Amino acid sequence: MKIVVLDGYTLNPGDNPWTELEQLGELTVHERTDPAQVVARALPGQVLLTNKAPVNAQSIADLPSLRYIGVLATGHNIVDGRAAAARGVPVTNVPEYGTRSVAQFVFALLLELCHRVGHHDQAVHQGEWARRGDFSFWDSPLVELAGKTLAVVGFGRIGRRVGELGRAFGMEVLAVDPQRGPPERAGAPPQERAYAAPSYAPFAWASLPEACARADVLSLNCALTAENRNLVNAALLAAMKPSAFLINAARGPLVDEAALAAALNAGALAGAALDVVAEEPIRADNPLLSARNCLLTPHIAWATLEARRRLMHEAAENLRAFLAGGVRNRVN
């Protein structure tokens, strides 16, 4: 069995070996693959693994030996699942590997907005503390989370974990999700359930308009769909408190970036922190780069070594199940 990885660098930049996948077949790993290179590189393989390299309907049609596509991520919109299904090719993802890491990062972003730790560290190193002469100084508002309202849009595994952490900080948690079910998929195997949020912190369901009006912090933790693209638009931002923070560690296209930049620059929102943008890597003309009180990180919420090791293991388990005649985490 020939296995081709189209874009393996972010999963294994050198610290996360491919050993488990190497045991399942003849493995070829490309660090990065441009869209125009997908067919040529995938052609020798029966198994194709991708993270962000797109596999569209034409590519699938041009790969006669293709038997299986594994997405090395949770989001799987990078693959045309319908075209693959029409060919009888299963597409799998890894739905449960980064819950704890992503939720932790949401609060890393939020706490940076609350305390501007990096900014104050830089000020100290530049001599500002010594120049001030006081035992303490700060030059941006400091915010305590206890008693504030956290609205979580998308209350699946990650969203529920974010809610639990919010409760641990003493926040009121509002959950926004059209599917109000448990965080685990029905019938999910134990190895998936092991990474789910371990408990159910108190929360209240809310509509999106209600949550936006009440939120001191709005955290986006939902999947990207055709229906929620530009979910955070000018109208939604206008409904939020001027003192509120927006956090996006989900998908960039959930946010109308021009509208968010305008709201930040007008002081209609106190701050935003985003780990994702609509086009990645970020373009030099992205309006968020020059927006006031906007923190940007390079899509790293998922990337702890612990999470990447789980991702590698689960991807191998998905393929192992397929090779044994079964199916695991199929999304098409």
Are residues 18 and 93 both part of a single domain?
yes
Q: What average pLDDT does range 191-206 have in this prediction?
A: 57
Looking at the DSSP assignment, which residues form a beta bridge with residue 153?
Answer: 176, 220
> Choosing from 251, 308, 310, 328, which is the catalytic residue?
251
Are residues 93 and 104 both part of a single domain?
no
Instruction: Assess if residue 157 is contained within a domain.
Output: yes
Are residues 290 and 181 both part of a single domain?
yes
> Choosing from 32, 280, 283, 306, which is the catalytic residue?
280
Are residues 247 and 127 both part of a single domain?
yes
Phi, psi of 10 (to 5 degrees): -70, -35
Instruction: Assess if residue 274 is contained within a domain.
Output: yes
> Choosing from 161, 299, 310, 328, which is the catalytic residue?
299
**Catalytic residue list contains 313:** no
Looking at the DSSP assignment, which residues form a beta bridge with residue 232?
Answer: 255
* Separation between Cα atoms, residue 124 and residue 111, nearest integer Å: 19
Instruction: Assess if residue 272 is contained within a domain.
Output: yes
**Catalytic residue list contains 251:** yes
pLDDT tens track for 249-277: 999 999 999 999 999 999 999 999 999 99
Are residues 93 and 107 both part of a single domain?
no
Are residues 38 and 79 both part of a single domain?
yes
Instruction: Assess if residue 329 is contained within a domain.
Output: no
The model carries a pTM of 0.91
Looking up residue 313, the CATH number of its domain turns out to be: 3.40.50.720
Phi, psi of 235 (to 5 degrees): -65, -45
Are residues 275 and 165 both part of a single domain?
yes
Are residues 178 and 265 both part of a single domain?
yes
Task: Give the range of the structural domain holding residue 81, as residue numbers without chain letter.
Answer: 2-97+305-323
Are residues 44 and 63 both part of a single domain?
yes
**Catalytic residue list contains 120:** no
Are residues 17 and 109 both part of a single domain?
no
CA dihedral 165, 169, 173, 178 (to 10 degrees): -20
pLDDT tens track for 41-86: 999 999 999 999 999 999 999 999 999 999 999 999 999 999 999 9
- What is the count of structural domains for the chain? 2
